[in-house]
Amino acid sequence: MRKSLRWLSLFMAPALVISLSALMVACGGDDEVTDEDVTLVSTKPEAGSDVAEGSSVTLTFSGDPGTVTVNGGATEGAGSTRTFAVTTASNDIQWDTGSSTLTFGTVLPPDNDPPEHTGTDPDIAGDTDVDPADLADGLTLSFNEDVDVDELTISTGGSALAWVPTVDGADVTLQANADDPIVNETDYDVEGVILDLAGNETEISFSFTTKAKE
C-alpha cells in the first residue's frame, strides 16, 4: 500500500506543476494590455473650411498612427502628425487602426498670394520710445489668413532673444521670456518669414527702440 501511494505521489507532482503552469499562462493572457486605437484628434484647416487647391492640411492624431494615406496617396510627417496637399473636397483618410472622412467646403483655385501682414500688437513698428512694459505679454503679428512660421525672431545687436513664436490661426505671437526681457534704451529688430498654408512666403522686417529709463 505504501509503495502504491509513493508511486501515485511521484506521478501527481509533475502533473500538478504542469497544470499550475498552464493556469498561469492563461491568467497572464487575460492581463495583457494592448494599446488603445489611435484616433484623429484635429485637422488644420477644420472640416467645412474653404481651402485652396494644393494647400497643406495637417492631421493630428492621439498617437503615432503608423502608415497614413489620404485618398489612397501617401502623407508626409512622423510621430502624431501628418500632412497632405488638398486636391478634392472629400478626403478618405486611412491609418493602421482606423479611418475617417474629412470634407472641406469649397476647393478654391490655387493660392499664389502671400499672406498679408495686417497688424502688430502692440503697434511698435518704427517707434523710438517704446515702453518695455508694453511687451510684457509678448508681440503678436496678425495676417489676413491662417499662417505658419518658417522663422521669426526678435533680436538686438545681432543676438536673438529667447522668445519662441507660437501660431494661432492667423496670429503669430513671439512669447515673452522673463529671463530674456526687453530693456530700456535699446534697438530691436523683428525679422523672419511667415508662410500661408499654400507655402507662399511673406518676409517680416521692422525695428523699434525702447525709451530711456525714467
> For residue 43, which phi and psi values (nearest 5 degrees)?
-135, 150
Same domain assignment for residues 45 and 22: no
Closest to 178 (Cα-Cα) out of 117, 124, 115, 135: 135
Does the residue 4 lie in any domain?
Answer: yes
Q: Are residues 124 and 190 in the same domain?
A: yes
* Residue 126 binned pLDDT confidence (cut-offs 50, 70, 90): very high
Q: Are residues 194 and 135 in the same domain?
A: yes
| Domain presence at residue 14 | yes
Residue 6 pLDDT: 52
pLDDT for the residue 214: 81
In a domain, 188, yes or no: yes
Indicate the pTM of the whole model: 0.64
Q: How confident is the model at residue 197 (pLDDT cuts 50, 70, 90)?
A: confident
- pLDDT beyond 50 at 32: no
Question: Edge to edge, what strands does the sheet with 117-121 contain?
Answer: 117-121, 139-143, 171-175, 164-168
**Overall average pLDDT of the 184-206 stretch:** 96
Same-domain pairing of 97 and 122: no
CATH number (domain holding residue 149): 2.60.40.1220
Residue 144 pLDDT = 97
Per-residue pLDDT of 130-183, as tens digits, reads: 999 999 999 999 999 999 999 999 999 999 999 999 999 999 999 999 999 999
Count structural domains, the chain.
3
Last residue of a domain, one of 76, 108, 140: 108
* Average pLDDT over all residues of the chain: 87
Q: Is residue 96 a part of any domain in this protein?
A: yes
Residues 78 and 124 in one domain: no
